[in-house]
């Protein structure tokens, strides 16, 4: 028994050393990622164009998830507060837009590239959903953000806790979307607004963060939540859906069989899109390559 206890103690010591080592590595890796800087040299936003586009900017703010994350008046809020993963807080945009460091182009970089004015990465900012927004739409969004009434709300600061850092280090938690984006300067041009697959692809950018660039779903955005749905025209996805089924889900949050989607699906945001946007999105989803669901059937 004494020998057994001895070896058990040694084994436990090695396990504890291994765990401590993993946390130490995770802390260092996450810290390095937080301090990395990204160079953004996008063409500047056209001067004066944004001021005349407040209505368009408000529509984008309301239908692309900006208000869902930052609050309807952009004052910021606590999105996640998990004792193991971390505390994720969205910033008070009404303060950001009044910070001289956030020029229009710096705000555009935050939206499309997920970086602060100093080039360091924003935490959990879904810039992949906005990476291809054209200058007119980004300018309109920035103009609307600048029109938001000032708020003194202080949502606090984000903190990545130990398990969150370990999951990030293991590639299981995408804390810094800037890492996976193309930061090369390029022209971006929105297609003609119409019920076409081309315009639908432009609108459907806002779905890629959860459903993947190929819309095959299976993405677990938050540990413990169900994987995202397969949106491709496959039997595991939307092959048997009609446009009416799709519009019903986007307006009510219910599938054709009457079941409700997980609350993580922001259908109340997309319900504010106009008929052209939603029908164009459906037209686009019918043209993409059908893919089987990844792992078990995703039904978020």
Q: Which domains does the chain have, with CATH numbers?
A: 50-180 (1.10.760), 197-285 (1.10.760.10)
Residue 299 has pLDDT above 60, yes or no: no
Write down the pLDDT at residue 289.
94
How high is the pLDDT of residue 23? Answer: 65
Check whether 185 has a pLDDT greater than 70. yes
- Cα torsion through 51, 57, 58, 61, rounded to 10: -140
How far is Cα 41 from Cα 43, in angstroms, rounded to an integer?
A: 7
| Contact of 218 with 293, CB cutoff 8 Å | yes
**Residues forming a β-bridge with 89:** 78
Q: Is residue 1 pLDDT above 80, yes or no? A: no
- Answering whether pTM is above 0.85, one says yes
User: d(Cα 267, Cα 250) in Å, to the nearest integer?
Assistant: 5
Per-residue pLDDT reduced to its tens digit, 23-72: 677 888 888 999 999 999 999 988 766 666 899 999 999 999 999 999 99
**Residue 16, pLDDT score:** 42
Q: Dig out the tokens for 13 from the structure.
A: 């010591």
Better pLDDT: 209 or 280? 280
In what side-by-side order are the strands of the sheet with 86-90?
Answer: 77-82, 86-90, 159-160
Rounded to whole angstroms, the Cα distance separating 137 from 160 reads: 32
Q: Which residues contact 186 (CB under 8 A, 6 or more apart)?
A: 42
Q: pLDDT digit string (tens) for 125-143?
A: 999 999 999 999 999 999 9
Structure tokens at 213: 């660039």
pLDDT tens digits for range 269-292: 999 999 999 999 999 999 999 999
All residues at 6 or more sequence positions from 166 whose CB lies less than 8 Å from its CB, including other chains: 22, 23, 26
Average pLDDT over residues 161-172: 90
Lowest average pLDDT, out of 102-106, 161-165, 224-228, goes to 224-228
Judged against a pLDDT cut of 60, whether residue 74 lies above it is answered with: yes
Percentage of the chain lying above the pLDDT 90 cut: 70
């Amino acid at each position: 028994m004494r020998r057994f206890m001895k070896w058990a103690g040694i084994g436990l010591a090695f396990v504890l050393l291994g765990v401590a080592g993993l946390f130490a590595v995770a802390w260092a890796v996450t810290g390095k990622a937080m301090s990395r800087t990204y160079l953004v040299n996008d063409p500047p936003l056209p001067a004066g164009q944004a001021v005349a586009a407040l209505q368009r900017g408000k529509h984008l703010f309301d239908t692309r998830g900006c208000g869902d994350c930052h609050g309807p008046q952009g004052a910021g809020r606590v999105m996640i507060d998990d004792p193991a993963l971390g505390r994720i807080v969205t910033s008070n945009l009404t303060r950001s837009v009044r910070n001289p460091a956030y020029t229009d182009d710096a705000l555009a970089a935050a939206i499309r590239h997920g970086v602060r004015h100093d080039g360091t990465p924003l935490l959990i900012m879904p810039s992949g959903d906005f990476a291809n927004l054209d200058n007119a739409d980004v300018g309109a969004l920035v103009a609307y953000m600048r029109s938001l009434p000032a708020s003194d709300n202080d949502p606090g600061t984000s903190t990545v806790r130990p398990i969150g850092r370990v999951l990030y280090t293991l590639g299981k938690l995408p804390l810094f979307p800037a890492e996976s984006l193309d930061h090369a300067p390029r022209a971006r041009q929105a297609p003609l607004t119409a019920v076409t697959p081309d315009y639908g692809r432009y609108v459907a950018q806002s779905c890629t963060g959860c459903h993947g660039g190929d819309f095959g779903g299976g993405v677990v955005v938050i540990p413990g939540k169900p994987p995202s749905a397969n949106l491709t025209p496959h039997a595991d996805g939307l092959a048997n859906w009609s446009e009416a089924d799709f519009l019903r889900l986007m307006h009510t949050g219910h599938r054709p069989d009457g079941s409700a989607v997980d609350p993580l699906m922001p259908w109340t945001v997309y319900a504010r899109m106009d008929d052209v946007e939603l029908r164009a999105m459906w037209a686009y989803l019918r043209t993409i390559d059908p893919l089987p669901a990844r792992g078990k059937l995703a039904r978020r």
